[in-house]
Amino acid sequence: MLGCMTPIQALRRGASRRVELVPMNPIEQLRAGRLPHRVAQLLVGLVLFGISMALLLHADLGLEPWGVLQYGLIQHIPMSYGLMSIVVSFVVLLLWIPLRQWPGLGTVLNAVVIGLAIDATLAVVPAIEGLGWRIAVMLLAIVGNGVAGAMYIGSQLGPGPRDGLMTGLARRTGRSIRLVRTSLEVTVVVLGFALGGILGVGTVLYALLIGPVVQFFLPVLTVRVQPPATATDGEGAASAQEPAQPSTASAKGSTAGTPA
């Protein structure tokens, strides 16, 4: 049947899947089965995430919220954009300590691989000339970022540093994910813009589009795993169809957007 479907039909069918995003600790994530598949998907997603962030920078029409901060920081600290992404990721991970959160394999790789992919892409992709091409690249970068976010979230190997900070703060404060995410992103955008970060139409479009893109692709890309014994009753397991989970991804990163 799948061989007779058009790509659009196959994508729509995939988007209707219901696959659980299972809450697991770092050890449970590694024991949940299909590890080679999940690690491969995680790495592809992280590389694509870094490529899309670099393209958004090249489009020069505004960066995602954490990108605004990172670009602002490199105006004052002699460091590449990708390396600054890595530094910011590990600083954010330090904030996990008082939240009593443990990073998974995906969390650590997220902090490193995205930054390396950003710098590698910036080194080989030339400057983009012409407003039409810049708009096209900006839109491609936002969609690519959403697909990449769905890939690494769907691997079920741990949240990105920024996503984990957001969900940890929401849990500890009792506030909603939406409120915590908005507060964090407004804070980093204001601080980044004050430091010289690139704020523009791309920043606004990213905020509007990244959640729906991740939400659409997450059911397609979430890998079905064997839940730990404590999660087999389904309590607390978030469905890949539910809108709240994709919002966490943006986020990276999210937060999303950002390297989550």
The reported pLDDT for the residue numbered 237 is: 42
pLDDT in tens, 119-135: 999 999 998 999 999 99
- pLDDT classification of 238: cutoffs 50, 70, 90: very low
- pLDDT classification of 257: cutoffs 50, 70, 90: very low
Average pLDDT estimate for 251-258: 42
13: pLDDT strictly greater than 70: no
Q: Is residue 135 part of a domain?
A: yes
Count of beta carbons in the 10 Å neighbourhood of residue 132? 9
Residues 6+ apart with CB under 8 A from 147: 45, 48, 213, 217, 221
Q: Is residue 119 part of a domain?
A: yes
pLDDT in tens, 146-180: 999 999 999 999 889 988 888 888 888 888 877 88
Domain of residue 165 covers 33-224+237-254
| DSSP 8-state symbol, 222 | P
Q: Is residue 2 part of a domain?
A: no
Q: Is residue 115 part of a domain?
A: yes
Q: How many structural domains is the chain composed of?
A: 1
189: pLDDT strictly greater than 50: yes
User: pTM for the full model?
Assistant: 0.81
Q: Is residue 13 part of a domain?
A: no
Average pLDDT estimate for 187-215: 92
Helix axes 7-15, 201-221, angle to 10 degrees: 80
Q: Is residue 8 part of a domain?
A: no
Q: Is residue 5 part of a domain?
A: no
